[in-house]
């Protein structure tokens, strides 16, 4: 048996985290004397003072800081267990909430989701569309379970499963001066009006970083969230753009010129989800399915 009460440890963690006995009492739906009793009980069990009260609030003692670190880990495990128990108790059909970009929702995700739904017909899939930064925010806030994103930024809370590498290319209308070229440098591209994706787009970030690394300032004429809108403007001769090659359909290839970049640019696409949510059976099945597709070289089809 433990020489301390887990309940008292959780109360201590809440007080230390919020820096207030009264706020902890409100959060835990307890009375303030009840909170104080738990702290006294834990201190008696540990044999040391853990919290000191002063005019400027509460302060943890040296021993209190050490206990807090352990309590923090226990609280994290408790939350993870709670999510798992809630998940397995659900009687309704398992739901997998996925976020991805508009482009991938049309040219990439259907292949992945089509085979996934076929393999796991009991899982209901809900699809949400956003740019890379928006999707990462949704994952962190647990508004979606997984996201298919490009160049995800690193986070201790997020697990990343590499999916596929996408090449970026320049597209112009057929009458554009650059249309006669098969390859082009970013320096040459910078001389013409460029239509870009919006803030938060991985494509935009990679392209602008490439220009900046070369000391070049591109001539951005328009910024827009819709890749379809960008392609329409390019076809109409209103500007040029840099997109992933997969975003150009067969019909659109007859109306635009796809030009390789001399300085190759890529997007590293991955599946991301909260590490703490790996216990979610729907997420586990989806990740396993992705790994299976990769092993069979079907993920790029």
What per-residue confidence (pLDDT) applies to 113? 85
Which is more confident, 86 or 94?
94
* Contact indicator for 99, 130 with CB cutoff of 8 Å: yes
What per-residue confidence (pLDDT) applies to 298? 60
What per-residue confidence (pLDDT) applies to 2? 56
Q: Of 46, 7, 39, 5, whose CA–CA distance to 20 is shortest?
A: 39
Average pLDDT over residues 159-184: 94
Average pLDDT, the chain: 87
What per-residue confidence (pLDDT) applies to 89? 59
Average pLDDT over residues 241-268: 93
Average pLDDT over residues 87-106: 76
Would you place residue 91 in the very low, low, confident or very high pLDDT band (cuts 50, 70, 90)? very low
**Contacting residues for 85 by C-beta, under 8 A, at least 6 apart:** none
Q: Is the pLDDT of residue 5 over 80?
A: no
Prediction pTM value: 0.65
What per-residue confidence (pLDDT) applies to 159? 92
Q: Which of 33-42, 87-96, 167-176 has the highest mean pLDDT?
A: 167-176
Average pLDDT over residues 199-217: 92
* Contact indicator for 183, 261 with CB cutoff of 8 Å: yes
What per-residue confidence (pLDDT) applies to 92? 55
Domains with residue ranges and CATH for the chain: 6-89 (1.10.10.10), 95-164+269-295 (3.40.190.10), 165-267 (3.40.190.290)
φ/ψ of residue 116, rounded to 5? -65, -45
| Of 47-56, 178-187, 189-198, 246-255, the least confident | 47-56
Average pLDDT over residues 184-206: 92
Which is more confident, 75 or 181?
181
Would you place residue 152 in the very low, low, confident or very high pLDDT band (cuts 50, 70, 90)? confident
What per-residue confidence (pLDDT) applies to 1? 45
For the stretch 270-293, what's the b/e string if a residue is b when 16 or more beta carbons lie within 10 angstroms of its beta carbon? bbbbbebbeebebbebbbebbeeb
Would you place residue 3 in the very low, low, confident or very high pLDDT band (cuts 50, 70, 90)? low
Q: Report the distance separating Cα 281 and Cα 288, nearest Å.
A: 10
| Of 36-50, 75-89, 121-135, the least confident | 75-89
What per-residue confidence (pLDDT) applies to 26? 87
Q: Which percentage of the chain shows pLDDT scores above 90?
A: 42
Average pLDDT over residues 223-232: 90
Q: Is the pLDDT of residue 241 over 90?
A: yes
Q: Is the pLDDT of residue 300 over 60?
A: no
């Amino acid at each position: 048996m433990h020489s301390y009460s887990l309940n008292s440890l959780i109360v201590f963690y809440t007080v230390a985290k919020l820096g207030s006995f009264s706020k902890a009492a409100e959060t835990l739906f307890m009375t303030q004397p009840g909170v104080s009793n738990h702290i006294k009980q834990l201190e008696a069990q540990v044999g040391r003072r853990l919290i000191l009260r002063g005019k400027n609030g509460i302060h943890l003692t040296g021993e209190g800081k050490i206990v807090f670190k352990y309590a923090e880990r226990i609280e994290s495990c408790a939350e993870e267990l709670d999510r798992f128990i809630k998940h397995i108790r659900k009687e309704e059909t398992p739901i997998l909430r996925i976020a991805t970009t508009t482009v991938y929702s049309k040219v990439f995700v259907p292949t992945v989701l089509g085979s996934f739904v076929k393999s796991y017909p009991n899982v209901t899939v809900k699809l949400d569309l956003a740019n890379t930064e928006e999707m990462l925010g949704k994952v962190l806030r647990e508004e979606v379970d997984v996201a298919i994103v490009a160049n995800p930024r690193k986070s201790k809370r997020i697990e990343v499963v590499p999916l596929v590498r996408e090449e970026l290319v320049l597209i112009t209308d057929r009458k554009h001066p650059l249309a006669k070229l098969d390859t082009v440098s970013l320096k040459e591209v910078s001389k013409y009006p460029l239509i870009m994706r919006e803030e938060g787009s991985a494509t935009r970030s990679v392209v602008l970083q490439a220009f900046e690394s070369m000391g070049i300032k591109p001539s951005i004429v328009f910024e827009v969230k819709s890749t379809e809108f960008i392609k329409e403007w390019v076809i109409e001769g209103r500007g040029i753009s840099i997109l992933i090659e997969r975003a150009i359909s067969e019909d659109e290839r007859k109306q635009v010129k796809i030009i390789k970049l001399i300085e190759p640019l890529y997007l590293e696409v991955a599946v991301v989800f909260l590490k703490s949510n790996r216990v979610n059976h729907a997420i586990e099945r989806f990740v396993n399915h992705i790994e299976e597709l990769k092993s069979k070289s079907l993920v790029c089809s």
